[in-house]
A and B are shown apart, each in its own frame.
Chain A
Amino acid sequence: MATAAEIEKQAEAREVRNRWLLSAPALIIILLAASGPLLIVLLYSFLTPGPYGDVQWKFSTEGWISVILERDIFDDTLAFASAHLTIFWRSLKLAIMATVATLIFGFPTAYFIATRSERTRDIWLFLITIPFWTNLLIRTFAVLQVIRNEGIINTALLNLGIVDQPIQMLYTDFAIMVGMVYVYLPLMVLPLYASMEKLDFRLVEAGYDLYATRWQVLRRIIFPMVRPGVVAGSILVFIPAIGAYVTPSVLGGGKNMMFANLIELQFGQGRNWPLGAALSITVMAIVMVALLVYVRNTSSSEVRHG
C-alpha cells in the first residue's frame, strides 16, 4: 500500500518536472527579453548619468529627485520642476478623460452588439475587432488627416461658413485625447460586450414589471451586472493610455508631451538615463496601482455574486 502511494507520488513529481521543462523556453525568453530587464531599470535609476548617455557606476538619488524637483544650476537650491509636473498632470488627465470617453461611447456600442441576434452579433463584433488588430500608428495617422487644418472637418466647416478660419485641433491636448479614444475604443467595447453577452434579461423584465423606468433599469439592474466588464475595460484603456507614446508624438506635436515622450527625451537629447529610468518606474507604479484596484474590484464582486 505504502509503495503504491510512493509510486504515485513519484509519477506526480515527474509530471510536474516535465511540465516545468515544457514551459521553460517561454519563461526564459520572457525573463530575458521582458521581465528581467525591468530590474535593471530599477538599478539604473539609482546611478549617475554618464556624459554621453548611459551611466557611471556611482550611486546617486539624483535621478529620483529630478523626477519632480529641479536643481538650480547657480545656487543648487531645489524647486518643483514645473515642466515635469505639467507633463504628469497632462498624462493623468488625458488618460482618465480617454477612459471615461471610451466608456461613454463604448457602453452603448457594446450593449447594441449584445442585443443583436446571434448571427448578426458576430458581424458587429468583427467590425469592432478589425480596427483593434490594425496598426495603431496607421489609425493615429488617420485621425491626424481628419483633424488637421486642411482635413475634412475643417474643410467642411469652412465651406459651410460655420467658421472663417480653420480650428486648430492638431497638436493640442484635445487631439491627443481624440486619438486615444479612437485607438483604444475596441479595448473598452470587447470586455464590456463579454459581460453583457451573459446578461440575464429576465431580471430586466422583472424591473419593468415593477414599474422601473428605462433609466432606472439601466442604472440599477444592467450597470451593476456588467460592472466587471466596465472595470476590465477601463483598466485595459487606462494602462496603454497612461504610457501612450505614438498618439502624443503624432497628434501632440513636440510641445504637448506625455509621460512616454518625457522618458524618450531622457534617452535621447536629455542624456539622463537615471532620470529616464526613474520616470519609467513611476509609470510602472501607476499601472500597478491601477491593476491592484482592478484585482480588488473583481475579487470582491465575485464574492458578492457567487
Chain B
Amino acid sequence: MAKRFTIRHQTGFTAIAAACFVLLYLPIAVLVAYAFNESTSVSEWGGFSLRWFVSAWNNVQVIDASIRSLKIASSAAIIATIVATMAALATTRTRAYRGLTFKYAFINQPLMVPEIVTGVALLIFFSQIKVATGYSGLGYLIAAHTAFCIPFAYLPIRARLENMDLTLERAAADLYATPWKAFRRVTLPLLWPGIIAGLMLAFVISLDDVVITEFVKSGGQDTLPTYMLGQIRRGITPEVNAISTVFLLLSVVIVTLFFFMSRKRD
C-alpha cells in the first residue's frame, strides 16, 4: 500500500532535522564523557574516574574565577533586571510618544553591535577612566555586563507587560488604590514571571560572556570563561572538560527553569 499522502511532508526534511539534533548533541556528549576519563591524555579512554573534577575543585585559579564569574553575573543580572523593568514599564501600554522608538532602538542597541567592537570601545574608554581615577576593580566588568544584559532582561518583561490586562489596574484605581499601591499589589505580582525570566536570561548571558570580558578585564580578573579560553589555547587537559561539564549542567538547569516558567504563562 502506498504511503498516505500528507501535505506537510517534504522529502528528506525529517532526515536533515534528525541529523541536526544528533550533531548538536554529539560533541557535547563527547565533551562530557571525556570529563570522566581516568587517563591524563585527552585522546585515550582510561576508564571511569572523577579525578578531573577533584583536580578542578582543588585548583585555586578555577575556584577564584568561578567566584568572580558568579559575583559579576549576579550583580549585573540584578541591576540589569531592575533598570530593564523600569524601562519596560516606561515603554509599554502607552500611546506612541516622542522618543519611544528611540528608546526601543537604544535599549536594543547592544544586540546589534558585534561584541568585538563593544569590547574594543570599552577597553579604550575604561583605560582612560582607570588612569584618571586609579580605580581598577570589578566595577568595570559589572558595568559592561549590565549594559549588554539590559536588552535580554528587557525582552521577556516587555512581552509580559504587553499581554497584561489593563482592566485590573483600572479596577484597583477605581477602588482608590494609589498608583504605587496599584503597582505593588496588582502590576508587580502579574509581572513577576516576566521579571524572573529576564533575570535568568541576563544571568546566563553574563555568565557566558568571553569577548567583552577578555577586553575589559584587568590583570588577575579572569572569569571562568576567560580562564578556560586561556587553558584551551595553551593545550587541553581533561580538567577543562570537567569544568565545562559543571558549567553546562548549571546552564541547563537555568534554561529548564526558564522554559517551564515561560510555559506556565500560557
A residues with CB within 8 A of B: 15-16, 18-20, 22-23, 25-27, 29-38, 40-41, 44, 54, 105-106, 108-109, 111-113, 115, 122, 124, 126-131, 133-139, 141-146, 150-152, 155, 182, 185, 201, 204-205, 208, 214, 218, 239-240, 242-243, 245-246, 249-250, 259-260, 263-264, 267, 273, 276-277, 280-281, 283-284, 287, 291
Note all chain A residues with C-beta closer than 8 A to B113.
34, 38, 284, 287
Question: Chain B, 95-122, contact with A by CB distance < 8 Å: what is the 0/1 string?
Answer: 0011100010011011011111111111
Least CB distance, A30 to chain B, in whole angstroms: 5
Once A26-B154, A134-B252 are accepted as A-B contacts, the answer to whether A250 and B30 lie under 8 Å apart by CB is no
Least CB distance, B128 to chain A, in whole angstroms: 8
Once A26-B84, A29-B150, A40-B125 are accepted as A-B contacts, the answer to whether A142 and B247 lie under 8 Å apart by CB is no
Q: Give 7 CB contacts A-B under 8 Å.
A: A23-B90, A26-B83, A27-B107, A37-B122, A133-B254, A245-B119, A267-B120
Q: A30 touching B106 by the CB < 8 A rule?
A: yes
Q: A204 touching B7 by the CB < 8 A rule?
A: yes
Note all chain A residues with C-beta closer than 8 A to B248.
134-135, 138
Q: B21 touching A284 by the CB < 8 A rule?
A: no
Note all chain B residues with C-beta closer than 8 A to A19.
90-91, 94, 97
Q: A26 touching B121 by the CB < 8 A rule?
A: no
B residues with CB within 8 A of A: 7-14, 16-17, 19-21, 23-28, 30-31, 34, 42-43, 79-80, 82-84, 86-87, 89-91, 94, 97-99, 103, 106-107, 109-110, 112-125, 127, 143-144, 146-148, 150, 154, 204, 207-208, 210-211, 214-215, 225, 228-229, 232-233, 236, 240-241, 244, 247-248, 251-252, 254-255, 258-259, 263
In the bound complex, what is the Cα–Cα distance between A29 and B140 (angstroms)? Answer: 12
> Closest chain B residue to A133 by CB distance?
B255
Complex partner residue of A246 from B16, B109, B229, CB under 8 angstroms? B229
Least CB distance, B209 to chain A, in whole angstroms: 9
Complex partner residue of B27 from A38, A124, A142, A260, CB under 8 angstroms? A142
Note all chain B residues with C-beta closer than 8 A to A150.
42-43
Q: B83 touching A29 by the CB < 8 A rule?
A: yes
Least CB distance, B85 to chain A, in whole angstroms: 9
Note all chain B residues with C-beta closer than 8 A to A141.
31, 228, 232, 236, 240, 244
> Closest chain B residue to A281 by CB distance?
B117
Q: A142 touching B112 by the CB < 8 A rule?
A: no
Q: B17 touching A112 by the CB < 8 A rule?
A: yes
Least CB distance, A80 to chain B, in whole angstroms: 24
Once A33-B143, A129-B255, A146-B30 are accepted as A-B contacts, the answer to whether A135 and B208 lie under 8 Å apart by CB is yes
Q: B83 touching A138 by the CB < 8 A rule?
A: no
Q: B27 touching A143 by the CB < 8 A rule?
A: yes
> Closest chain A residue to B148 by CB distance?
A34
Note all chain A residues with C-beta closer than 8 A to B7.
201, 204-205, 208
Once A139-B28, A273-B124 are accepted as A-B contacts, the answer to whether A204 and B114 lie under 8 Å apart by CB is no
Note all chain B residues with C-beta closer than 8 A to A137.
208, 210, 225, 228-229, 232
Q: Which are the 7 A-B pairs with shortest beta-carbon distances? A: A243-B114, A150-B43, A112-B17, A37-B121, A142-B27, A33-B147, A22-B90
Least CB distance, A87 to chain B, in whole angstroms: 13
In the bound complex, what is the Cα–Cα distance between A54 and B123 (angstroms)? Answer: 10
> Closest chain B residue to A284 by CB distance?
B117
In the bound complex, what is the Cα–Cα distance between A29 and B87 (angstroms)? Answer: 12
Least CB distance, A260 to chain B, in whole angstroms: 4
In the bound complex, what is the Cα–Cα distance between A287 and B24 (angstroms)? Answer: 27
Q: A133 touching B117 by the CB < 8 A rule?
A: no
Note all chain A residues with C-beta closer than 8 A to B28.
131, 134, 139, 142
Least CB distance, A38 to chain B, in whole angstroms: 5
Q: A142 touching B146 by the CB < 8 A rule?
A: no
Note all chain A residues with C-beta closer than 8 A to B148.
34
> Closest chain A residue to B244 by CB distance?
A138
Q: A23 touching B103 by the CB < 8 A rule?
A: yes
In the bound complex, what is the Cα–Cα distance between A222 and B118 (angstroms)? Answer: 38
Q: A35 touching B109 by the CB < 8 A rule?
A: yes
Note all chain A residues with C-beta closer than 8 A to B98.
16
Least CB distance, A223 to chain B, in whole angstroms: 11
Note all chain A residues with C-beta closer than 8 A to B87.
22-23, 25-27
Beyond A25-B87, A260-B211, 15 additional pairs, beta carbon < 8 A = A22-B89, A25-B82, A30-B109, A30-B110, A44-B124, A109-B16, A127-B25, A133-B208, A134-B208, A151-B43, A239-B112, A240-B114, A240-B115, A243-B114, A260-B116
Least CB distance, B230 to chain A, in whole angstroms: 11
Least CB distance, A225 to chain B, in whole angstroms: 14
Q: A122 touching B263 by the CB < 8 A rule?
A: yes
Note all chain B residues with C-beta closer than 8 A to A182.
23-24, 27
Complex partner residue of A139 from B10, B27, B43, B110, CB under 8 angstroms? B27
In the bound complex, what is the Cα–Cα distance between A208 and B7 (angstroms)? Answer: 8
Note all chain B residues with C-beta closer than 8 A to A27.
87, 103, 106-107
Q: B10 touching A218 by the CB < 8 A rule?
A: yes
Least CB distance, A25 to chain B, in whole angstroms: 4
Q: A108 touching B17 by the CB < 8 A rule?
A: yes
Least CB distance, A11 to chain B, in whole angstroms: 13
Least CB distance, A288 to chain B, in whole angstroms: 8
